[in-house]
Amino acid sequence: MNRIPVVLIHGAWLHMSSWKGWTERFCAHGYDVHVPHWPGEPEAVPQARRDPGPLGGFGLDELTAHYEKALRELDSLPVLIGHSAGGLIARQLLDAGLARAAVAIAPMPGHGPWPEPAGAGGGLAMGSEDYVPLPQPQFRHTIANAVGEDEAAQLFSRYVVPAPHRLLTDLGLDGEAPEREQTLTPTPTPTTARGPLLLISGQEDRMVADAVTRATYKLYGDSTAVTDLKQFADRGHSLVIDSGWPAVADYVLAWLAANGITGAGEQG
């Protein structure tokens, strides 16, 4: 029996290796898991920190097209699971009919300016014209704020890499506009054709606030397709990589099963 593919899409400042636990868990449940590189993404975190140049030079449209190409090379429609910028890409590709279901975890709200992350300190330090590092104190305050100091330091060491400057500009995270008004992507066309969508938020998230994810959920209010929202209390933006990630992954697995999508194939 053919296994259903799952494609994991990471967000800015995290290396693809941040999905290692998720990969093992979903493979154990019978899914065919894929974790595509970003364009130019090195295999290991130390390499990406030493030479982040290959990561620069692309924005949100190019990154979305990169994943679209990867999906079209699969033998069957996948389940998409994306975090942060990856969550935005996942729901857009689902809306385009390129996936059977999608899970958007703390998804960025889309093109254009939006509120500065709480406590972000008025913008990010630019590393170069091509890429932007995330300083450890800012990672701790904005992304890993709901875990202890030691765990935050370990997460930073294991997973954090520079992010493409153009991508951050497209997401409104370049720090060039201190006063921002929230702008979300256009309301999706109501349809029954697309597969189920699950939106997940951490209620202590300082990068993509719970209110932003709830606002994204409301965009689908006129759609008759399955659209669900799950809020995790006491969780921050690091909810896919910190010690609590198994609870999030297990919720996703249960949600997929409830919608008839299991690793060995669709039920019924």
Nearest to 60 by CA among 120, 108, 27: 108
Q: What is the torsional sign of CA 48, 49, 54, 59? A: positive
Label residues 42-81 b or e (16+ Cβ within 10 Å = b): beebeebeeebebbbbbbbeebbeebeeebeeeeebbbbb
Choose among 48, 13, 11: nearest CA to 132.
13
Is 13 in contact with 163 (CB distance < 8 Å)?
yes
Looking at residue 113, its pLDDT comes to 41
So what's the pLDDT on residue 265? 57
Contact between 168 and 12 under an 8 Å Cβ cutoff? The reply is yes
Per DSSP, the residues of 145-202 read: TTS-HHHHHHHHHHHB--EEHHHHHHTT-SS--SS-----PPPPPP-SSS--EEEEEE
* Domains (range + CATH), the chain: 5-258 (3.40.50.1820)
Please give the pLDDT value at position 188. Answer: 58
Helix 85-95 and helix 60-72, axial crossing angle in degrees, nearest 10: 60
pLDDT at 140: 97
- Alpha carbon distances (Å) from 129 to 14, 135, 166, 176: 19, 17, 8, 13
Which tokens is 108 given? 């960025």
CB-neighbour burial class of residue 150 (10 A; exposed 0-12, middle 13-18, buried 19+): exposed
Per-residue pLDDT of the chain (268 residues), as tens digits, is 689 999 999 999 999 999 999 999 999 999 999 999 999 999 999 999 988 877 777 999 999 999 999 999 999 999 999 999 999 999 999 999 999 999 999 999 875 444 444 334 334 444 456 888 999 999 999 999 999 999 999 999 999 999 999 999 888 886 543 333 334 444 455 556 799 999 999 999 999 999 999 999 998 888 889 999 999 999 999 999 999 999 999 999 999 999 999 976 544 3
Query: Residue type at 148?
Result: G
pTM: 0.89
